[in-house]
A and B are shown apart, each in its own frame.
Chain A
C-alpha cells in the first residue's frame, strides 16, 4: 500500500491517474479507514488530500451560494455562523452522522463519494441542488449531487478524477430545507429511510420544490415529480397526502436486517410529510 499526501490538486490528480489497482482518497477517513480495518477494502494507493490549500474552507460563491472544500468536516459546517442559516437541512443532515468525535473528521464530500444509499447528508444535498466540483486529467467539471453515486459503493467519477468542493446554490428569498431520517435508536445509527425537501414560497403558495429519498433504492433518489404535487399549492392536508403517496410510490427498497420493504415504504411517506412541514415553516420565516 502506498500513502501520498500531495500539496496540490494537480499532484493529486497525477497520482490518482497513474495509480494501479484500488485507489482511495483519504479526507476524514471515517469510511475509508473503517473499511480498511474491517478488511472490506485494502487500497493499493491512498491519497490524503487534507494538506491541499483551500480544502478546509467554507466560502461564499460569487453567485451568493456556498463552496464547501473537500476536507471540510461536519463539525466545521455546524459551527459555521452563516451556512446553517441558508441551508439548515444540509447542515442538520450532516450533523446527524456518527458521534461528536466522528463529526470532527467526517466530511460531506466523503459521505457523497462513499456512495452508500443510506448516507444522511446526500438526500439533503440533492434536494438543495448541490453540485460536486471535480478535477481530473481532462480538466474540471461539475456533477449534480444526485448523479455522483452510481450504486452502493460506486460513483460516476472517472479514473484520476478527484473532488475539490461541493457547491450549494444561493438560498434566495423565502426558501427552506429540511432532512429527517428514521433510525431505531436516537443517534449513532444508520438511516432506515431518509428524506429531504427543499422549497420556496410566495405567501402560502409553494413556488418550487425538490425532494430526495435515501435508503430506499441503490442510490439516493431525486424525485422530480414533487413539483407536480407541491408547486402552486399551499401545504394543506391534501398536498401532504399526495406528497406521502409520491414518496411511497418512488421507493424501491430491499428487505434486510435494517428494515422491510413495507416498513421502509411506509416510513418514507411519513418522513416526506414531516420534512415538508419543517421546510415550509422555514421558508415562511421560522428559525431553524
Chain B
C-alpha cells in the first residue's frame, strides 16, 4: 500500500482557496458565540471587583445582596477548592481573590440572580472592607530596593540570591565571550527600550454558561482557545473529577492567546453549584481590560557590536518583563527570541519575570517575542544607519540558517529566514522611492511554534463523505485547512468533508489552540487519521477482490490494484466501499493521537513605510509588506489573513495601544475609546508574500504562521518612524506627543 502521503508539491486540494465552512453561519449571524447560549431556568451572574491596586480583604458582607429579591447565590473564595498548588493555585488566586486583592479589577465575590440587572445591583450591595496596602505597577519601580513586596515567597529556584522578591523567575543563556566580541567591533551600540502592556483586543468578551449539580457532574459552554484545559483547570478549582465536567467550545470572536486560560468559568460553575441552576456569566468590556490578561510591559537593554562590513561580533540583552501579580511573564521566550535571527559567535541574554499590582498577564500572539525584536532590531537599524550599510544585506550577512547554532543553543534545522530576506529584497516595495517626511523600516522576527497533545477522529459516511472531529477551537480558519488536508488524502472534494470542533466528552485530549500549532498538529493528526481510514478502505477493496491488502493502493478517491500481479480489477470508488461498509466489516473510521514534536519554526521579514506629521507628531503607516515562511500554505487566503492580522495588531501596539495606570494604581483606560486599537482607516493595505520552505516535521511541510507575523511589526514601524523623524524611538507606543517631543529634541 502506498500510504505515505508526505509530499510538498503536486497537490489537488491543498493550496486552493475555498470558502470557509463556517463562513455562512458567521456572515448570517447564525454562529453561536460565548454569550449566545441559554438554558431553562438560567441565572445571570456578575462579579464584584476590587477598586484597589493592592489591599487586604478584611471582611466581605453579602447579607444585603442575598436579601434582594431574585438573588440566588453569592460566592467568594470559600466556595472553591483548597490546598491547590502551582499554576492551579495561581489561577484560583486570580479567578477569585483570597486574603488580598492584588490589582484593580481583581474578583472578590460573585452573584447569581434571575436577571442581569438584579445581579448588577446586587454586586453594589455587597460590602467589602479593605485595608489598603502599598502598590507598584511599573516594572522598573517594582525591582527597586524600596518597592513593596507583592507576594513574599513567589520566586522560584531560578532566581539568584540578592534580587528583589518581586523578581519571581530568572532566565539566562548564551555562548562565546561577549566582552571579547564587543572589543572586536568597530561600533558598539547599547540602548534602553520600553514597551507598555497591550491587550489582545479580541472583540468578543469572555462569556460562558455553566451547570454544575450536587452530583459533581457539570456542563460548560464557553468561549475559549482550549476547552480541555478549561475542563482540567475548572475541575481542579472546584474539586471535581475531570471527566465529569463536559466542556463545549463556542465559536470564538478572537483570542490571540488571551483565551488560553480561564477567568470566569470556575465562577459560573461555583455559582451554579450553589444555586442549583444554570448560570451565565459575560464580562463587560471594562472587565475584559481590567481583569483578563494583557501582555507584559517591558524594560530592556540591548547591546550589539558590529564590524564596518556589517558582521556582528557580539550581542547582549537584558529583558525585564512585568506580568501582573503572578509569575508567568514570558521572560525566557523574550530572551530566546531576541537574537534568534542571527548567527552569533558571542551572545548573552537574560530575562527577569517581575510581579506588580496588575492583572495576571496572558499569552498574546508569540508571547514575549515582539518586544525582543523591537529592542534588537532597533539597535540593528541604528548600527546600519551609522555604518552606512543596507539593513537587508546586513541581516543576510548574519542570518541564522540550517546548521548554525541558535543564540539559545539549539542547532537550526532547515529554516526559511534567508528566503524571507531575499524575497523582501526583491520586492518592489524595498526599491520604491520615499516621499519627504517618510521613513522606511525593516525588521526580522522569529517564533518557535509548537506541537502539543493532539487527538483527531475521522468517520466515513455511507455516501462517501467524511466527518472530522478535532479538538482545537478554530481561531483562524482551521476547519477549512483540516478539510483540505483530509480531502487531499481521501481524494474526495473539500465540500464533502465536515470538520467539527468536538467537546471534551467526544474526543481524546487536545492541547489549547496556541503556539501556532493547529494547522501543524491537528493537521498532521487529520492526515494520519485520514490515512488510517484509507488503509481500511484499501483493506475492504482487497477483500472484495480477494487479494492481499498490500496489493491495493489509493489514488484520487479510488482503491486500485497495485500492478498486473494483483489482478485485473476495476478501481473501486470510495462511495462503492462505504455504501456497504456495515456488511463488509463495520464502520470505517480513522483516528490519530500523539504529541508531535516536529513543529517547524517560522521567520518573517517586514518592510514598513511611515509618514510623520511634523506639526502634530501623528504617524501614518503608508505601506506595509509582510514576507513570512509558511512551510506550506494549506489555505493561502487564511495564511495571508494571519500575516495581515499580526501586522495590524503590531501597528496598534507600536503606535497607540497601552495600559495607562494612575498614581492610585487604577487602570485609566478600560475601554476601546481610550485604549486605541487600530480602526480600518488607520491601516494601509497590508501586502503579503508567502515563502514556502517545507517543514520536514509535517507530511505536507506546514509551519505554523499565526504568531510570527506579530514579531517584526513593533521594530519595523519604530525603525520607519525613527528614520522619518531622524530620532531613534526607544519607547512604545509612539503616540503623537512622544514623537513630537522627539522632533523638538532634535530641533533643539
Question: A residues engaging B (CB < 8 A)?
Answer: 38-39, 182, 184-190, 257-260, 262-263, 266-267, 270
A262 partner residues in chain B, CB cutoff 8 A = 737
7 contacts between A and B (CB under 8 A): A184-B736, A185-B682, A186-B679, A186-B682, A257-B668, A260-B737, A263-B737
Cα A258 to Cα B674 in complex, Å, equals 7
Does B681 lie at the interface of the complex (its beta carbon under 8 Å from any beta carbon of A)? yes
Encode contact with A along B605-637: 1 for CB under 8 Å, 0 otherwise: 000000000011110000000000000000000
Min C-beta distance of A274 to chain B, whole Å? 9
Q: How far apart sit A270 and B660, CA to CA, in the bound complex (Å)?
A: 27
Is the CB–CB distance between B676 and A263 below 8 Å?
A: no
Which of B120, B616, B681 counts the most chain A CB atoms within 10 A? B616
User: In this assembly, does B598 line the interface, its C-beta being within 8 Å of a C-beta of chain A?
Assistant: no
Whether the Cβ atoms of B740 and A263 lie closer than 8 Å is: yes
CA distance A263 to B615 in the complex (A): 10
Q: How far is the CB of B267 from chain A (nearest CB, A)?
A: 20
Q: Are A184 and B740 in contact (CB under 8 A)?
A: no
A262 to B616, CA, bound (A): 12
- The answer to whether B678 touches A257, judged by C-beta atoms less than 8 angstroms apart, is no
Contacts of B673 in A (CB 8 A): 189-190
**Are B616 and A267 in touch, CB under 8 angstroms?**
yes
The residue in B120, B660, B669, B679 that gathers the most chain A C-beta atoms within 10 A of its C-beta is B679
Residues 194-229 (chain B) with a chain A CB within 8 angstroms: none
A277 CB to nearest chain B CB (Å): 13
Kindly report which residue of chain B lies nearest to residue A260, judged by CB atoms.
B737
Q: Which residues in chain B, 530-570, are within 8 Å of chain A measured between CB atoms?
A: none
Task: Evaluate contact between B737 and A259: CB separation under 8 angstroms.
Answer: yes
Instruction: Collect the chain B residues with CB atoms within 8 Å of residue A39's CB.
Output: 120
Q: Does B735 contact A (CB under 8 A)?
A: yes
With a CB–CB cut-off of 8 A, which chain A residues contact B674? 190, 257-258
Q: Chain B residues with Cβ under 8 A from A257's Cβ?
A: 660, 668-669, 674
Tell me, in angstroms, the Cα distance from A12 to B26 when the chains sit together.
43
Residue B656, interface by CB 8 Å: yes
Contact A185 B676 (CB under 8 A): yes
Contacts of A187 in B (CB 8 A): 679, 681
- Asked if B668 contacts A185 (CB within 8 A), the reply is no
Complex CA–CA separation, A257 to B674 (angstroms): 8
Chain A residues with CB below 8 A from B682, complex form: 185-186
User: Complex formed: what's the CA distance from A260 to B286 in Å?
Assistant: 24
Indicate which residue in A38, A184, A190 contacts B656 across the interface (CB closer than 8 Å).
A184
**Interchain CB contact under 8 A, A184 and B735:** yes
Of B656, B668, B676, B740, which contacts A266 at CB under 8 A? B740
Closest residue of chain B to A99, judged by CB?
Answer: B679
Are B618 and A184 in touch, CB under 8 angstroms?
Answer: yes
A185: which B residues are within 8 A, CB to CB?
Answer: 656, 676, 678-679, 681-682
Chain A hits for B655, CB < 8 A: 184
By a CB distance below 8 angstroms, the chain A residues around B618 are 182, 184
Query: Which residues from 646 to 663 on chain B have a C-beta closer than 8 Å to any C-beta of chain A?
Result: 655-656, 660
CB-defined contacts of A182 to chain B, threshold 8 Å: 616, 618, 736
B: interface residue count bin: 20 to 34
Residues of B within 8 A of A267 (CB): 615-616
What CA separation (Å) do A280 and B304 show in the bound complex? Answer: 54
* Nearest A residue to B662, CB-CB: A257
How many angstroms between the C-alpha atoms of A190 and B671 in the bound complex? Answer: 13
Shortest distance from the beta carbon of B332 to any chain A beta carbon, whole Å: 32
Say whether A270 contacts B615, CB under 8 Å: yes
Within the complex, the shortest CB–CB distance from B427 to chain A, in Å, comes to 26
Closest residue of B by beta carbon distance from A193:
B616
Query: Closest chain A residue to B614 by CB distance?
Result: A270
> For residue B660, which residue of chain A has the nearest CB?
A257
A60→B323 CA distance, assembly (Å): 60
Closest Cβ of chain A to B731, distance in Å, is 15
For A186, the chain B residues whose CB sits under 8 A away are: 679, 681-682
Q: Which residue of A lies closest to B677 (CB)?
A: A185
Residue of A nearest to B673 (CB): A190
CA of A186 to CA of B679, assembled, Å: 8
| Docked-complex contact B740 and A189, CB < 8 angstroms | no
- Residues in chain A near residue B681, CB distance under 8 A: 185-187
Q: Which of B100-114 contact A (CB under 8 A)?
A: none
Q: Taking each of B655, B656, B735, B736, which has the highest tally of chain A beta carbons within 10 Å of its own beta carbon?
A: B736
Which of A184, A185, A263, A270 gathers most chain B CB within 10 Å? Answer: A184
A-side contacts of B676, CB under 8 Å? 184-185, 189
A186 to B617, CA, bound (A): 14
Bound-state CA distance A187–B683 (Å) is 12
Taking CB atoms, residues of chain A closer than 8 Å to B286 are: 38
The 8 lowest CB-CB distance pairs between A and B, nearest first, are A263-B737, A186-B681, A270-B615, A257-B660, A188-B679, A184-B656, A257-B668, A186-B682
A188: chain B residues at CB < 8 Å are 679
Report the separation of the CA atoms of residues A95 and B526 in the bound assembly, to the nearest whole angstrom: 51
A186 nearest in chain B by CB position = B681
Shortest CB-to-CB span from A131 to chain B, Å, is 30
CB of B135 to closest CB in A, whole Å: 19
The answer to whether B678 and A270 touch across the interface, beta carbons within 8 angstroms, is no
CB-CB under 8 A for A270 and B616, given A186-B681, A257-B674, A263-B737: yes
Q: Given the complex of chains A and B, what is the CA–CA distance between A219 and B736 in angstroms?
A: 24
CB distance from B476 to the nearest CB of A (A): 25
Cβ of A130 to closest chain B Cβ, rounded Å: 26
Enumerate chain B residues within 8 angstroms of A263, measured Cβ to Cβ.
617, 736-737, 740
Q: How far is the CA of A186 from the CA of B619 in the complex (A)?
A: 10
Measured between C-beta atoms, what is the minimum distance from B228 to chain A in Å?
35
B116-151 to A contact mask, C-beta < 8 Å, 1/0: 000010000000000000000000000000000000
Bound form: Cα–Cα A184–B673 in Å: 11
- Residue on A nearest B736 in the bound complex, by CB: A184
User: Considering the chains assembled together, what is the distance between the CA atoms of A266 and B617 in angstroms?
Assistant: 11
How far in angstroms is the closest Cβ of chain B from A44? 15
Q: Smallest CB–CB gap between A256 and chain B, Å?
A: 8
B740 contacts which chain A residues (CB < 8 A)? Answer: 263, 266
Expressed in whole angstroms, the Cα–Cα distance for A209 and B109 within the complex equals 58
In the bound complex, how far is the Cα of B120 from the Cα of A190, in angstroms?
28
B590 to chain A: closest CB distance in Å?
A: 47
Assembled-state Cα–Cα distance A211/B616 (Å): 20
The complex places the Cα of A266 from the Cα of B120 at a distance, in Å, of 43
Residues of A within 8 A of B678 (CB): 185
Nearest residue in A to B668 (C-beta to C-beta)? A257
**A residues less than 8 Å from B615 (CB atoms):** 267, 270
The distance from the CB of B349 to the nearest CB of chain A, in whole angstroms, is 33
CB distance from A146 to the nearest CB of B (A): 25
Bound-state CA distance A259–B617 (Å) is: 12
A182 to B656, CA, bound (A): 14
Contacts of B617 in A (CB 8 A): 263
Q: Count chain B CB atoms within 10 A of each CB in A39, A182, A187, A188 and give the residue with the most.
A: A188
For residue A38, which residues in chain B have a CB less than 8 angstroms away from its CB?
286
* Complex Cα spacing A178 to B230, Å: 55
Chain B residues, CB < 8 A from A189 = 673, 676
Seed contacts A184-B735, A187-B679, A190-B674; 8 additional CB < 8 Å A-B pairs: A39-B120, A184-B676, A185-B679, A257-B660, A257-B668, A258-B674, A262-B737, A270-B615
Which residues of chain B are within 8 angstroms of A190 by Cβ–Cβ distance? 673-674
Can you list, as one digit per residue, whether each of B506-540 has a CB less than 8 Å from chain A (1) or not (0)? 00000000000000000000000000000000000
The 0/1 profile, CB within 8 Å of A marked 1, for residues 712-748 of chain B is 0000000000000000000000011100100000000
- For residue A235, give the distance in angstroms from its CB to the closest CB of chain B: 17
B573-610 vs A, Cβ < 8 Å mask (1 yes, 0 no): 00000000000000000000000000000000000000
- CA of A267 to CA of B676, assembled, Å: 20
With the chains together, A182 CA to B616 CA distance in Å?
Answer: 8
Of A186, A259, A262, which is in contact with the most chain B CB atoms at under 10 Å from its CB? A186
Q: How far is B671's CA from A188's CA once the two chains are assembled, in angstroms?
A: 13
Q: Which residues of A contact B668 (CB under 8 A)?
A: 257
Contacts of A270 in B (CB 8 A): 615-616
Output the nearest chain A residue to B674 by Cβ-Cβ distance.
Answer: A257
A262 to B741, CA, bound (A): 10
Cα–Cα distance between A182 and B617 once the two chains are bound (Å): 11
- What is the bound-complex CA distance between A182 and B679, given in angstroms? 16
